[in-house]
Homo-oligomer: A and B are copies of this chain.
Amino acid sequence: MNTAPVLIAGEWRQAAESGRFQPRNPSTTEAIDRTYPKSSWRDCEAALDAATNAATTLRTASAEDRARFLEYYADAIEASADELCALAHEETGLPLTPRLLDVELPRTTGQLRAAAKAAREGSWAQATLDTAANIRSVRGPIGPVVIFGPNNFPLAFNGLAGGDFAAAIAAGNPVIAKAHTAHPGTCQKLASLALLSLDQAGLPGATVQMLYAISREDGYKLVRDARLSAGAFTGSRPAGLALKQAADQVGTPFYAELSSINPVVMLPGALAERGAALAEEFASSCLMGSGQFCTNPGLVIVPANDDGELFIARSGELFDGANPGTLLSAGTEQGLQNAITQLREAGATLVTNNRAPDEGRFCLPNTLLCVSGSGFLKDPTAFQTEAFGNAALIVVSESTQQTAELLRQLEGNLTGCIYSSSTDVDDEAYDSLAPILRDKVGRLLNDKMPTGVAVSPAMNHGGPFPASGHPGFTAVGVPASLIRFSKLDCYDNVRAHRLPPLLQDENPLKAWRLVDGNWTKNPVN
């Protein structure tokens, strides 16, 4: 039996196989009756060559062509919404509705269209003109990009359709996507829609390529290859770190989103004022989607007082009362189980994991753990183990001073939240804690759980290591996410007719440009 074909150089072809795999249905744990190939280096090689050629064509293609491709593709995804979401549900166990059909798919097409708009308009590229010196610079394409998508967003973070994909294409680069082996059917369907849309837009077929699986060694070889210009990875810390280090060796930018426990500080005044409501908010955020979000609130700091005790008790009841969601894969289940074991071995006690889940699917009880502030400080590394899924750790802090010390011990995170009283009773504590947390996170929140990641120009979905590989970039939000896949192209004394449109005196795209120190859409006189 043939395996599913891979997409290389604009063609669906049989892989140069080095192995095969079948995905599993997380809702039944059964194997799905489709077989996919693991590619050998020969496929990587072919994809790299084709991407190199596509990059050359894309450099001279117009922004309008890229924009149109992204829009055709968004249309095609919408037209195939039912089929795509059925595949994604089968392969990930995520609910069809509201999650896949009503939230994730619209988010995906919304991101593609936002990226299209940014590409067409051009302001994202921050054209900068020094007219006196005749030096002009603009963000240009970086070259072929490889994207390793995560398991938890089969559409919105998919290497073939998600935020990294949209950003890399909008910035003018071809993408080689490594499909996630947990949802290869979803990836295949997306790739087929992408290929049709490329044809419609008149862009090279090799602008989007896809392999289902490659060996670890070929992954390192791929990101070290001179034909590759950048990479993006969202997933587990060990896998991402190893890829990042391979890319680092040859100076190739590699944006890795590796791990985050998203600390939440409940200040005393907040719990005194609205503790029960905050427990609801926390439990609902932590258990939504079985907690399988990069921004899941995994660490909550509460004061050692009656309000803190009540918060823990109420959260425990809510964890007990909710039906555990299905986990994405056997690997996710095993990883979560291991993390809970590690946290318990470090000294965390169980508040609850009583609710036995139904049999016959990947899942674990909703799990809430607890440790004292001084306990945490004895082994801060162990207590920062990321429990990816429906679990969280509560830390009971003796004082604002201890909370400050807890925050100082944190690794980099995507987000950090502080809940405070609606009056000013928490302001002193806030003022002493917020600067410490600020240094540790990409996004600082007040009175709001971190789970929602709005696609906003002001969003930062990134943060200090290991939340991401560089604290200056965001993976979500247009136009900022495009910057990652660009290089700074300076033109010094280059003749007028040889300048790219964004740097021409006339400003034909009417983009925002920084001209002699002022942002303007006007042409240069």
- A14→B103 CA distance, assembly (Å): 63
Partner of A456, one of B135, B488, B495: B135
CB atoms of B498 and A465 under 8 A apart:
no
Q: Are B494 and A446 in contact (CB under 8 A)?
A: yes
- Contacts A128-B480, A488-B442, A490-B459 known; A465 to B133 CB distance under 8 Å? no
Contact between chains at B488 and A460 (CB < 8 Å): yes
B-side contacts of A438, CB under 8 Å:
59, 140, 489
Q: Does A298 contact B (CB under 8 A)?
A: no
Contact (Cβ within 8 A) B457 A130: yes
Q: Which of B444, B466, B493 is the one whose CB lies under 8 Å from A490?
A: B444
Contact A487/B472 with A59-B435, A251-B466, A445-B493 known, Cβ cut-off 8 Å: yes
Do B459 and A135 touch across chains, with their CB atoms under 8 A apart?
A: yes
Asked if A251 contacts B465 (CB within 8 A), the reply is: yes
Q: How far is the CA of A265 from the CA of B33 in the complex (A)?
A: 58
A509 proximity list for chain B (CB < 8 A): none
- Measured CB to CB, the closest approach of chain B to A230, in angstroms, equals 9
Give A412 to B250 CA distance when docked, in angstroms: 11
CB-based closest 4 A-B pairs: A251-B465, A519-B519, A460-B490, A471-B487
Interface of A is mostly: mixed
Given pairs A130-B459, A443-B490, 9 additional interface contacts (CB within 8 A): A129-B458, A250-B465, A251-B470, A252-B465, A253-B471, A434-B498, A443-B491, A446-B492, A512-B519
Q: Are B471 and A488 in contact (CB under 8 A)?
A: yes
Is A454 an interface residue, CB under 8 A from the partner? yes
**Which residues of the partner chain B approach A56 to less than 8 Å between Cβ atoms?**
435
> Could you list some 8 contacts between A and B, CB below 8 A?
A59-B438, A133-B454, A135-B456, A244-B251, A245-B249, A444-B490, A444-B494, A446-B495
- Whether A273 sits at the interface, judged by CB under 8 Å, is no
Rounded to whole Å, the gap between the CB of A404 and the closest CB of chain B is: 11
Bound complex: CA A472 to CA B438 (Å): 25
* Distance in angstroms between the alpha carbons of A133 and B477 in the assembled complex: 13
Asked whether any CB of chain B lies closer than 8 Å to the CB of A136, the reply is: yes
A448 at the interface (CB under 8 A from B): yes
Task: Looking at the assembled complex, report how far the CB atom of A254 sits from the nearest CB atom of chain B, in whole angstroms.
Answer: 9
A55 and B446 CA atoms in complex are apart in Å by 23
Pairwise interchain contact B448-A493, C-beta atoms closer than 8 A: yes
> Given the interface contacts A251-B466, A439-B143, A470-B253, does A458 sit within 8 Å of B490 by beta carbon?
yes
Interface string of A509-522 (1 = CB under 8 A from B): 00010100111100
Q: Contact between A137 and B460 (Cβ–Cβ < 8 Å)?
A: yes
Cβ-based interface call for A30 (8 A): no
Residue of B nearest to A520 (CB): B519
Residue of B248, B442, B468 touching A248 (CB-CB under 8 A): B248
Please pick, from B59, B130, B446, B472, the residue contacting A483 in the complex, using a CB distance under 8 A: B472
B136 touches A458 (CB 8 A): yes
In the complex, A447 has a CB within 8 A of chain B: yes
* A450 to B493 CA separation, bound complex (whole angstroms): 11
Q: Does A473 contact B (CB under 8 A)?
A: yes
Chain B proximity mask over A283-298: 1 for CB below 8 Å, otherwise 0: 0000000000000000
Given contacts A444-B494, A445-B494, contact A517 B457 (CB under 8 A): yes
Are B435 and A469 in contact (CB-based, < 8 A)?
Answer: no
Q: Which residues of B contact A520 (CB under 8 A)?
A: 519
A12 touches B (CB below 8 Å): no
- Asked whether any CB of chain B lies closer than 8 Å to the CB of A464, the reply is yes
Interface residues of A in 184-210 (CB under 8 A from B): none
Also in contact, A135 and B490, with CB within 8 A (given A251-B469, A446-B495): no
A142 within 8 Å of B by Cβ?
A: yes
A313 to B212, CA, bound (A): 57
User: How distant is A2 from chain B, measured CB to nearest CB, in Å?
Assistant: 37
> Inside 8 A of A142's CB, which chain B residues have their CB?
471-472
Interface membership of A25, Cβ < 8 A: no
Q: Are A444 and B519 in contact (CB under 8 A)?
A: no
Asked whether any CB of chain B lies closer than 8 Å to the CB of A263, the reply is: no
